[in-house]
């Protein structure tokens, strides 16, 4: 059986390199490659791949939020996060969002292929380099009460935290500036902060954004 893969990463060179690598593997086929989280969610809905290979830091919608959306809407699709981030908080946040695997971008080609095959077969995969603090971090995340945010609120929160203006967010999401302001007020009320700085700190703490697009 051929494993059908969607690749999501905002760096074209990496997309092309990983796609070329996987296309040399007889049982894996890259059926689409996209550059942001929104496109990843959309193309996954359209094509129904077996596995999505997902970057973390991407524009518009980050990989963790895209993973959350994909797993919620299409539970049969498996997500492997491919990231530079090795810290336990990012890894455990990705797993809590529904990722079935987590691999570092510095891994060997054989490990990436093994991770894809593993999750496609219904198993998980966690690169040995990040296993140290992940179980403890996951335990702490599960014991923390986190306010329930809608999908749109989470996207707005990410964009606010990344420094986008109200007008820019409105353009990106196709909504009015007034609606953006309403979302911002609701977010502040839900998470218990009174400023954009407070929202930004909350977003980083919860893994909604890493504030790092240098992956």
Domain covering 3-141 in this structure, CATH number: 3.40.50.2300
Q: How many residues does the chain have?
A: 215
pLDDT in tens, 136-181: 555 555 555 556 788 788 889 988 888 888 888 888 888 898 999 9
What fold characterizes domain 151-205? Arc Repressor Mutant, subunit A (1.10.10)
CATH 1.10.10.10: which residues of the chain? 151-205
pLDDT in tens, 51-108: 999 999 888 889 999 999 999 999 999 999 999 988 887 887 888 789 999 999 989 9
- Is the pLDDT reported for residue 37 higher than 70? yes
pLDDT for the residue numbered 213: 47
In the 8-state DSSP scheme, what is residue 103? E
CATH 3.40.50.2300: which residues of the chain? 3-141
pLDDT in tens, 123-144: 999 888 777 666 555 555 555 5
Q: In what order do the strands lie in the sheet with 51-54?
A: 28-34, 3-8, 51-54, 78-83, 101-104, 125-126
Query: Coil, helix or strand for 150?
Result: coil
pLDDT classification of 191: cutoffs 50, 70, 90: confident
Instruction: Determine whether 97 is exposed, middle or buried from the number of CB atoms within 10 Å of its CB (0-12, 13-18, 19+).
Output: buried
DSSP letter string over 1-29?
A: -PEEEEEE-S-HHHHHHHHHHHHTSTTEE
pLDDT classification of 215: cutoffs 50, 70, 90: very low
């Amino acid at each position: 059986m051929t494993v059908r893969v969607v690749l999501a990463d905002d760096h074209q060179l990496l997309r092309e390199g990983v796609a070329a690598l996987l296309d040399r593997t007889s049982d894996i086929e890259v059926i689409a490659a996209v550059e942001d989280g929104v496109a990843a969610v959309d193309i996954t809905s359209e094509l129904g791949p077996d596995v999505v290979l997902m970057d973390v830091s991407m524009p518009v919608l980050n990989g963790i939020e895209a993973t959350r959306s994909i797993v919620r809407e299409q539970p049969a699709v498996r997500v492997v996060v491919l990231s530079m981030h090795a810290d336990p908080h990012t890894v455990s946040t990705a797993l809590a969002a529904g990722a079935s695997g987590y691999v570092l971008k510095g891994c060997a080609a054989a490990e990436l292929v093994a991770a894809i095959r593993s999750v496609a077969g219904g198993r998980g995969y966690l690169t040995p380099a990040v296993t140290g603090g992940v179980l403890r971090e996951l335990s702490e995340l599960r014991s923390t009460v986190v306010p329930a945010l809608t999908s749109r609120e989470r996207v707005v929160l990410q964009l606010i935290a990344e420094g986008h203006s109200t007008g820019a967010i409105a353009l990106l999401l196709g909504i009015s500036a007034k609606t953006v302001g309403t979302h911002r007020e609701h977010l502040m009320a839900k998470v218990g902060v009174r400023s954009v700085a407070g929202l930004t700190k909350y977003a980083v703490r919860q893994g909604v954004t890493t504030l790092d697009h240098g992956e």
